[in-house]
Chain A
Amino acid sequence: MQTATITNTTVTSPATSQNVLKMAGLLVISIGLLGILVAAVGANYISPVLTGLGGTIVFTIGALLYIWQSRRYKSTAEQNHGLWQQDATSRGASAWVIGFVLTGFYVLLYWFPDTLQGLIKATEPLSQWLRNRPSDQWFLYGTFYTLAILIMGVYALLKYRNSRYHIIRTISVMFFQLGFAFLLPGLLLMLNQPEYYFSYFWPLKYDYLFPGTVDYLVRDGAALGVFMVFWGAVFSFLATPVLTYFYGKRWYCSWVCGCGGLAETAGDPYRHLSDKSRKAWRWEVAIIYPILGFVILTTLFLWINSWSEGRLLGDLSGGFASTYGFFIGAMFSGVVGVGFYPLMGNRVWCRFGCPMAAYLGLLQKHFSRFRISTNGGQCISCGNCSTYCEMGIDVRWYAQQGEPIIRASCVGCGICAHVCPRGVLKLENGPQEGRYAGSPLIKRDELRILS
């Protein structure tokens, strides 16, 4: 018998140089981290600008080099290799260390900002240049946060490079974080205008519709302040329902929002850690809607208090507001929301805590054209969709029965459709009529997961 032999010529040759460059990237990352550490603790001995800001720049270069080397040469189907086998992405020891360090950083940031003086000083020149005023812990936090989205945005762009949906979506979250949540607020401060984030709205930025904030914006910001109040109100009550009707919750949660931006970039390596059990869904429903109710009540109380000049409710509304600020604004969204990334997945806050997500979710479930369609009888129940759903939705439950997925929590990131090996899922907007109808090519259970 004749034998045709074809040897491969295209692969394996760059392996060595790839590993060397990867190591170089790790070395540069380490130097950067040391610089940042020195800035934090040794600001009295050496200029924290040199070590801190310099270290941050060096860290960025190293991280980009490492990400490029470790992602560029992996084909798109290989990107999730070993995720459940590696320590850092499967709740191993290093995951716990990263979780503790992140959580600790948030505790310092919120309640002991003085301990971060060295790092705050390190960002002083940047703050002066952008905002024309001294740096503080929130500027330090904003800088790190934006940098995390930009660096890990490059990671997401490489990881999902064969999908235009993910490329455009990732660029969108990078753009909104850098432009709307970092540069623009800084610029406003430089121009002596109120600091305002045009990409955050009530009820996520709960105090934007509190009487105190409205009062301050209108008084201090004059015409621009009035516009800001108008913008916030329009987005909360008009643009949000309209956009959600046409595109689902995703227009905000996985395209614009900064929390979503961090989750989709820096949080991407942890998306499979979300709990998919029915119990987790019960917790989700039991927590997130009461929080939305709490924000609405707090806002109402504050306005009633303001109109009645404190006669009706006394100090109650103020107590509501500060309680919410402590437990939800700081504890939940920051400490737990990001600190627990490596342990509970990247959308803990968005899934269990965010009032905006609850509001968008109700709209998405009941007043929207959005759904994830299932392709006939093609599902093989493999579970990639459910595993990689950061919101903990058991996507497979619906897909294997040929049903569309219409869930309040779905943020429309589109990863389920991306990891499906059989092309079974598609995010799409269609008529509300027949929205829940499944494929006729498969018989299904009438059983509901939550009753």
Chain B
Amino acid sequence: MEKITAQEHLVIIGNGIAGVTLAQRVRQQSDCRITMVSAESRLHFSRTALMYVYMGHMRFQDIVPYADWYWQEQKIELVHDYVKRVETSDKKLVLREGPHLHYDKLVLATGSSAAYYDWPGQTLKGVQGLVSLQDLELMEANTAGIQQAVIVGGGLIGVEMAEMLRSRGITVTMLIRDKLYWHNVLPQEEAQLVTDHIQQHGIELLLQEELQEVLADASGRARAIRTRSGKEIPCQFVGITTGVKPNIEFLKGAGLDIDRGILVNEIFETSQPDVYALSDCAQFRNPAPGQPMMEQLWYTGRLHAEALASTLLGDRTPYQRGPWFNSAKFFDIEYQTYGTVPAQFTEQHESLYWQNAEATKAIRLLYDKGTEKLLGINLLGVRYRHDLCHHWLQQGYTLHEVIQELPAVNFDPEFFQRYEEELMRQYYTRFPDRQPPMKNSTWWELRKRFGLFSDSISC
């Protein structure tokens, strides 16, 4: 893989976290021409923060992480236009408004949009998903002055939408396919805790229930939905949050191999030379064992882009996602996860689990029964240090080794009550023959001992 030269033109379609990270990382080590094309918005914004604009915590300009001066100084050209088609034979993009754009290397970071499953009435006014800036504008219009809303799907966008609607005093009913909210990801206890919390916020949850059809009023607007079990729920807004699908319609005829997403190898190469795809719109041909074919998260978008940037800069870097992590927030309760905690446990899984009496905080340390190796950590209402959790998982710590360093991992603000002792008590009760360490190491000691910081000093 040759490093991209200063004369070459790198064009990125999409200015989400993947496209932007790629442009930044390439610019750091190359003087090539970089152009980012987006039909959604001229400037990159934080997609995950759209909800805060609706709720009035921020304005749109507040969720824009880099002002105009940044792009000018970085010499990254921004084109606010829609790509009608890609002509790979001539290496050019045909835009809706502006002139054709020639590329030497093309990166597709086009993201995704709400997935619909052919429900009758799904195109009625008032039925929508929430992924793009345009979705947010539509939601403002669709929810103006309404009383009741139904959300289909019990995932992260679903609960965000519920929180948004509640902030305007709209009654919300959520249809959830599982027995509990997000139970396809969260184990029983965590799912129960979050489910209870969502209900305490006034959301009605219809569990083990799915959408049958959306019913229209005389003007062609949604007036109610009918569930699989035949229940009719009046509503003027239907939020579709049953997952996302890649934005690839405009690529038909571009000669790219496409399945659900644009098929790529481990260095994000598509079937066309000099065309790459990453993040939400890409699908791995041969994912590593146990890894998904598609990754559609903020964090994976960034990780994909960091890997592809290295490759474009001449250092062939196959994508390895490393120990997993993710985070979210369910109304008042923050969620962090490190490593792998499956929703269903097998014989091999054993865990230390603690939750407080009010059921607003929980910690789970999951480990392998045989090897006692740490597998993953789930946290609700408690913050842990990513750097240290990553180190434990990367180094294959056993539970015993983790317990020795547990007091250093807490990241809650000063004066907050600490709960690590509860877990340590559980641990030493379960393994009475083991001894606690003479002295607890602080975070600063561990950080130094394991070199858990970068050397770069900037700003």
A interface residues with partner B (beta carbon < 8 Å) = 1-8, 10-12, 75-78, 80-86, 162-165, 168, 272, 277-278, 373, 375-378, 380-384, 386-387, 396-398, 400, 402-403, 414, 417-419, 421-423, 426-428, 430-431, 433-434, 436-449
Count the B residues whose beta carbon is within 8 Å of the partner chain — how many? 78
Q: Quick check: is B344 within 8 A (CB to CB) of the other chain?
A: no
A387 cross-chain contacts in B, Cβ below 8 A: 57-58, 62
**Closest CB in chain B relative to A414 CB, distance in Å:** 6
A3: contacting residue among B200, B207, B329, B417, CB under 8 A: B207
Complex Cα gap A396–B70 (Å):
14
Question: A3 and B327: CB pair below 8 A?
Answer: no
Name which residue of chain A comes closest to B329, CB basis.
A421
Question: A417 and B413: CB pair below 8 A?
Answer: yes
A375 cross-chain contacts in B, Cβ below 8 A: 383, 385-387, 411
Complex Cα gap A445–B204 (Å):
45
**Closest CB in chain A relative to B323 CB, distance in Å:** 10
A8 cross-chain contacts in B, Cβ below 8 A: 199-200, 202-204
A12, A77, A446: residue with the most chain B Cβ atoms closer than 10 Å? A77
Question: B390 and A11: CB pair below 8 A?
Answer: no
A434: contacting residue among B69, B206, B334, B448, CB under 8 A: B448
Complex Cα gap A387–B55 (Å):
14
Residues 224-277 (chain B) with a chain A CB within 8 angstroms = 227-229, 231
Complex Cα gap A441–B447 (Å):
13
Complex Cα gap A8–B456 (Å):
52
Listed by A's residue number, 28 A-B pairs whose Cβ atoms lie within 8 Å are A2-B208, A6-B205, A8-B203, A77-B332, A80-B56, A164-B417, A375-B383, A375-B411, A378-B299, A378-B325, A380-B49, A380-B298, A381-B49, A381-B65, A383-B63, A384-B49, A402-B454, A403-B459, A418-B413, A422-B328, A426-B411, A436-B457, A436-B458, A441-B386, A441-B387, A446-B28, A447-B74, A447-B458
Question: B207 and A6: CB pair below 8 A?
Answer: yes
B414: contacting residue among A1, A84, A428, A434, CB under 8 A: A428
Q: 12 more A-B contacts (CB under 8 A) besides A378-B327, A383-B49, A434-B453?
A: A1-B209, A5-B206, A77-B329, A80-B57, A81-B57, A373-B411, A377-B299, A381-B46, A423-B336, A437-B454, A441-B390, A446-B458
Contact string against A for B residues 175-208, beta-carbon threshold 8 Å, 1 for contact and 0 otherwise? 0000100000000000000000001111111111
**Closest CB in chain A relative to B123 CB, distance in Å:** 25
Question: A384 and B52: CB pair below 8 A?
Answer: yes
Q: Evaluate whether A277 and B67 lie within 8 angstroms (CB atoms) in the complex, with A3-B231, A378-B336, A427-B413 already known.
A: yes
Task: State the majority secondary structure of interface residues on A.
Answer: loop
Q: Evaluate whether A426 and B413 lie within 8 angstroms (CB atoms) in the complex, with A3-B231, A438-B453, A440-B454 already known.
A: yes
**Closest CB in chain A relative to B53 CB, distance in Å:** 8
A380: contacting residue among B48, B74, B443, B451, CB under 8 A: B48
Question: B390 and A1: CB pair below 8 A?
Answer: no
Question: A1 and B413: CB pair below 8 A?
Answer: no
A376 cross-chain contacts in B, Cβ below 8 A: 325, 385-387, 390
Q: Quick check: is B455 within 8 A (CB to CB) of the other chain?
A: yes
Q: Quick check: is B444 within 8 A (CB to CB) of the other chain?
A: yes
A4: contacting residue among B28, B55, B67, B208, CB under 8 A: B208
Name which residue of chain B comes closest to A374, CB basis.
B386
B117 cross-chain contacts in A, Cβ below 8 A: none
A418 cross-chain contacts in B, Cβ below 8 A: 413
Question: A423 and B57: CB pair below 8 A?
Answer: no
B24 cross-chain contacts in A, Cβ below 8 A: 445
**Closest CB in chain A relative to B417 CB, distance in Å:** 8
B387 cross-chain contacts in A, Cβ below 8 A: 375-376, 439-441
Q: Quick check: is B119 within 8 A (CB to CB) of the other chain?
A: no
**Closest CB in chain A relative to B231 CB, distance in Å:** 7
Q: How many cross-chain pairs have Cβ atoms below 8 Å apart between A and B?
A: 214
Name which residue of chain B comes closest to A405, CB basis.
B459
Question: A382 and B63: CB pair below 8 A?
Answer: yes
Q: Quick check: is B59 within 8 A (CB to CB) of the other chain?
A: yes
Q: Evaluate whether A382 and B415 lie within 8 angstroms (CB atoms) in the complex, with A1-B228, A377-B299, A377-B325 already known.
A: no
**Closest CB in chain B relative to A184 CB, distance in Å:** 27
Complex Cα gap A421–B100 (Å):
41
A2, A82, A386, A447: residue with the most chain B Cβ atoms closer than 10 Å? A447
Complex Cα gap A439–B389 (Å):
12
Question: B336 and A380: CB pair below 8 A?
Answer: no
Name which residue of chain B comes closest to A433, CB basis.
B448
Q: Quick check: is B146 within 8 A (CB to CB) of the other chain?
A: no
A381: contacting residue among B17, B25, B67, B229, CB under 8 A: B17
Name which residue of chain B comes closest to A423, CB basis.
B383
B56: contacting residue among A2, A76, A81, A438, CB under 8 A: A81
A438 cross-chain contacts in B, Cβ below 8 A: 453-454, 456
Complex Cα gap A430–B57 (Å):
32
Q: Quick check: is B102 within 8 A (CB to CB) of the other chain?
A: no
Name which residue of chain B comes closest to A81, CB basis.
B167
Q: Quick check: is B431 within 8 A (CB to CB) of the other chain?
A: no
Complex Cα gap A312–B326 (Å):
68
Q: Quick check: is B331 within 8 A (CB to CB) of the other chain?
A: yes
Q: Quick check: is B302 within 8 A (CB to CB) of the other chain?
A: yes
Complex Cα gap A252–B18 (Å):
42
Question: B327 and A82: CB pair below 8 A?
Answer: no
**Closest CB in chain B relative to A432 CB, distance in Å:** 11
B205 cross-chain contacts in A, Cβ below 8 A: 6
Question: B200 and A11: CB pair below 8 A?
Answer: yes
Complex Cα gap A418–B63 (Å):
17
**Closest CB in chain B relative to A375 CB, distance in Å:** 5
**Closest CB in chain B relative to A264 CB, distance in Å:** 16
A83, A163, A383, A430: residue with the most chain B Cβ atoms closer than 10 Å? A383
